[in-house]
Amino acid sequence: MDFIVVSDTHGRYNILETLLKNQLKLHEKFRPGQLIHLGDGAGDVEKCVSSRNFCVHQVRGNCDGFFSSYAESLPKEKLLEFYGHKILITHGDSFSVKSGDVRAVIYASQIGADILMYGHTHTPLTYTLEKGANVGGVILNKDLTVVNPGSLGYGNSFCIVSVENERVFVSHSEI
């Protein structure tokens, strides 16, 4: 299962529109069919995705109230499950990720997530913490992959996440 993961479009829906158009040009075998938006641009998703065949998963960001009343209906976090992998998606502001992601990592571990995806910092990153790692005094009971796609609106960055059986692949890119 492949996902396009974006965050922080901040009203620049034209960039999201361009990304989705480019993805639709790919051969079906290589085309992600799911979009994850990690907040701060709920209205952008609303404008761009309605006419496309994408399954959308999204959460509300701290700035979403300024862009769309639709955002009020979105959760601050969501736990998804695909092929036995649990994916926690959140904007990250409720975990103060701009000061570090330890709180988000601990929470993701406590709820049994295999993958944590967050935005808010506008900085792309990917790393994996192995089972047994000590995070803020909490010992992880399984591997946890942490992903931030960066900001599509302010840095043109996004990522593709592929979940296959036991493996998770993350590829960062820019438009």
**Exposed e or buried b per residue across 65-103, where buried means at least 16 C-beta atoms within 10 angstroms of its C-beta:** eebbeebeebebbbebeeeebbbbbbbbbbbebeeebeb
What CATH number is given to the structural domain containing 96?
3.60.21.10
Residuewise pLDDT in 10s, the chain (175 residues): 789 999 999 999 999 999 988 887 765 666 677 899 999 998 888 888 766 667 899 999 999 976 567 778 899 999 999 888 999 999 999 999 999 999 999 999 999 999 999 999 999 999 999 999 999 898 999 999 999 999 999 999 999 999 887 788 999 999 8
> Which pTM does this prediction carry?
0.93
Domain that holds residue 139: 2-174
Number of domains in the chain: 1
